[in-house]
Amino acid sequence: MCFHPWGAEDFPLFASLHGDPEVQYFLQKGEPPWDEAFLRAKFEGFRDDYAAHGWTKFKVTDQQGAFLGRAGFGWFPATGEVELGYSFMRAFWGHGYATEAASALLDWIYRTKPLDHVIGFAVAEHAASRRVLEKVGMTFTGIRDVDAIPNAFYRHTRPA
Protein backbone atom coordinates (compact mmCIF):
# COMPACT_ATOMS: atom_id res chain seq x y z
CA MET A 1 0.00 0.00 0.00
CA CYS A 2 1.27 3.47 -0.93
CA PHE A 3 0.20 6.92 0.26
CA HIS A 4 0.43 9.91 -2.09
CA PRO A 5 -0.47 13.58 -1.84
CA TRP A 6 -3.27 14.43 -4.26
CA GLY A 7 -2.30 15.98 -7.58
CA ALA A 8 -4.71 18.15 -9.57
CA GLU A 9 -5.04 15.29 -12.07
CA ASP A 10 -6.41 13.00 -9.32
CA PHE A 11 -9.78 14.72 -8.98
CA PRO A 12 -11.60 12.10 -11.12
CA LEU A 13 -10.38 9.35 -8.75
CA PHE A 14 -11.56 11.32 -5.73
CA ALA A 15 -14.91 11.99 -7.41
CA SER A 16 -15.34 8.29 -8.29
CA LEU A 17 -14.78 7.31 -4.66
CA HIS A 18 -17.19 9.83 -3.22
CA GLY A 19 -19.70 9.51 -6.05
CA ASP A 20 -20.60 5.99 -4.92
CA PRO A 21 -23.74 6.16 -2.74
CA GLU A 22 -22.68 3.08 -0.77
CA VAL A 23 -19.28 4.59 0.02
CA GLN A 24 -20.99 7.83 1.03
CA TYR A 25 -23.69 6.17 3.12
CA PHE A 26 -21.66 6.11 6.32
CA LEU A 27 -20.17 9.53 5.69
CA GLN A 28 -23.59 11.11 5.19
CA LYS A 29 -26.05 8.59 6.64
CA GLY A 30 -28.05 8.14 3.47
CA GLU A 31 -27.93 11.69 2.12
CA PRO A 32 -27.23 12.04 -1.63
CA PRO A 33 -23.56 11.94 -2.67
CA TRP A 34 -21.68 15.22 -2.51
CA ASP A 35 -22.20 17.50 -5.51
CA GLU A 36 -19.24 18.52 -7.69
CA ALA A 37 -18.74 21.91 -6.01
CA PHE A 38 -18.52 20.30 -2.57
CA LEU A 39 -16.26 17.53 -3.91
CA ARG A 40 -13.89 20.08 -5.44
CA ALA A 41 -13.77 22.10 -2.21
CA LYS A 42 -13.07 18.95 -0.17
CA PHE A 43 -10.41 17.83 -2.65
CA GLU A 44 -8.68 21.22 -2.61
CA GLY A 45 -8.88 21.20 1.19
CA PHE A 46 -6.98 17.91 1.24
CA ARG A 47 -4.36 19.41 -1.07
CA ASP A 48 -4.13 22.52 1.13
CA ASP A 49 -3.72 20.38 4.27
CA TYR A 50 -0.73 18.64 2.72
CA ALA A 51 0.88 21.93 1.70
CA ALA A 52 0.37 23.41 5.17
CA HIS A 53 1.01 20.43 7.46
CA GLY A 54 2.69 17.64 5.50
CA TRP A 55 -0.29 15.38 6.11
CA THR A 56 -3.72 14.99 4.58
CA LYS A 57 -6.24 12.31 3.73
CA PHE A 58 -3.82 10.81 1.21
CA LYS A 59 -4.60 9.04 -2.06
CA VAL A 60 -4.03 5.33 -1.40
CA THR A 61 -2.86 2.91 -4.10
CA ASP A 62 -1.68 -0.66 -4.15
CA GLN A 63 1.91 -1.51 -5.11
CA GLN A 64 0.92 -1.61 -8.80
CA GLY A 65 -0.63 1.87 -8.65
CA ALA A 66 -4.31 0.88 -8.63
CA PHE A 67 -6.45 3.41 -6.74
CA LEU A 68 -7.88 1.97 -3.51
CA GLY A 69 -9.27 5.05 -1.76
CA ARG A 70 -8.11 7.68 0.70
CA ALA A 71 -6.73 7.59 4.23
CA GLY A 72 -4.91 10.00 6.48
CA PHE A 73 -5.42 12.91 8.79
CA GLY A 74 -7.44 16.08 9.07
CA TRP A 75 -8.38 18.64 11.70
CA PHE A 76 -11.57 17.95 13.62
CA PRO A 77 -12.93 21.50 13.88
CA ALA A 78 -15.10 20.90 16.96
CA THR A 79 -12.07 20.15 19.16
CA GLY A 80 -9.01 21.16 17.12
CA GLU A 81 -7.64 17.63 17.35
CA VAL A 82 -5.99 15.66 14.56
CA GLU A 83 -8.39 13.04 13.25
CA LEU A 84 -7.61 9.78 11.45
CA GLY A 85 -10.02 8.96 8.63
CA TYR A 86 -10.31 6.60 5.68
CA SER A 87 -12.65 5.72 2.87
CA PHE A 88 -12.07 2.98 0.30
CA MET A 89 -13.61 2.02 -3.01
CA ARG A 90 -16.38 -0.52 -2.44
CA ALA A 91 -14.51 -3.23 -4.38
CA PHE A 92 -11.82 -3.17 -1.67
CA TRP A 93 -14.04 -3.37 1.41
CA GLY A 94 -13.39 -6.30 3.72
CA HIS A 95 -9.81 -6.93 2.54
CA GLY A 96 -8.02 -5.33 5.50
CA TYR A 97 -6.91 -2.19 3.66
CA ALA A 98 -8.45 0.22 6.18
CA THR A 99 -6.75 -1.52 9.11
CA GLU A 100 -3.42 -1.68 7.28
CA ALA A 101 -3.65 1.99 6.31
CA ALA A 102 -4.73 3.17 9.78
CA SER A 103 -1.92 1.25 11.47
CA ALA A 104 0.75 2.54 9.08
CA LEU A 105 -0.52 6.10 9.32
CA LEU A 106 -0.54 6.12 13.12
CA ASP A 107 3.03 4.83 13.16
CA TRP A 108 4.04 7.50 10.65
CA ILE A 109 2.33 10.47 12.33
CA TYR A 110 3.95 9.78 15.70
CA ARG A 111 7.39 9.44 14.09
CA THR A 112 7.04 12.71 12.17
CA LYS A 113 4.84 15.03 14.28
CA PRO A 114 4.91 15.97 17.97
CA LEU A 115 1.33 14.86 18.68
CA ASP A 116 0.35 13.28 21.98
CA HIS A 117 -2.81 11.70 20.57
CA VAL A 118 -5.04 11.29 17.53
CA ILE A 119 -8.81 10.81 17.45
CA GLY A 120 -10.97 8.78 15.11
CA PHE A 121 -14.68 8.40 14.74
CA ALA A 122 -17.22 6.42 12.76
CA VAL A 123 -20.98 6.48 12.40
CA ALA A 124 -22.11 4.63 15.53
CA GLU A 125 -23.86 1.85 13.57
CA HIS A 126 -20.87 1.27 11.25
CA ALA A 127 -19.49 -1.81 12.99
CA ALA A 128 -16.76 -2.51 10.40
CA SER A 129 -15.22 0.96 10.66
CA ARG A 130 -15.41 0.86 14.45
CA ARG A 131 -13.59 -2.50 14.41
CA VAL A 132 -10.78 -0.91 12.38
CA LEU A 133 -10.35 1.82 15.00
CA GLU A 134 -10.31 -0.78 17.79
CA LYS A 135 -7.86 -3.07 15.94
CA VAL A 136 -5.31 -0.26 15.67
CA GLY A 137 -5.47 0.36 19.42
CA MET A 138 -7.92 3.21 19.72
CA THR A 139 -10.00 3.47 22.89
CA PHE A 140 -13.72 4.21 22.72
CA THR A 141 -14.53 7.55 24.38
CA GLY A 142 -18.26 7.94 23.72
CA ILE A 143 -20.99 8.77 21.25
CA ARG A 144 -21.32 12.34 19.93
CA ASP A 145 -23.27 13.82 17.06
CA VAL A 146 -21.43 15.03 13.97
CA ASP A 147 -23.78 16.88 11.60
CA ALA A 148 -26.73 15.43 13.56
CA ILE A 149 -25.46 11.85 13.03
CA PRO A 150 -24.47 9.76 16.10
CA ASN A 151 -20.77 8.86 15.84
CA ALA A 152 -18.60 6.64 18.02
CA PHE A 153 -15.44 8.50 19.04
CA TYR A 154 -12.06 6.93 19.76
CA ARG A 155 -8.68 8.14 20.96
CA HIS A 156 -5.19 6.81 20.25
CA THR A 157 -2.40 7.97 22.55
CA ARG A 158 1.21 8.26 21.39
CA PRO A 159 3.04 5.06 22.31
CA ALA A 160 5.67 5.39 25.04
The confidence score (pLDDT) of residue 31 equals 67
Domain extent at residue 108: 2-157
pTM value?
Answer: 0.91
* pLDDT tens track, the chain, 160 positions: 999 999 999 999 999 998 887 877 777 666 667 788 989 999 999 999 999 999 999 999 999 999 999 999 999 999 999 999 999 999 999 999 999 999 999 999 999 999 999 999 999 998 999 999 999 999 999 999 988 889 999 999 999 8
Looking up residue 92, the CATH number of its domain turns out to be 3.40.630.30
Q: Per the structure, how many domains does the chain have? A: 1
The confidence score (pLDDT) of residue 32 equals 67
Q: State the amino acid at position 121 in one-letter form.
A: F
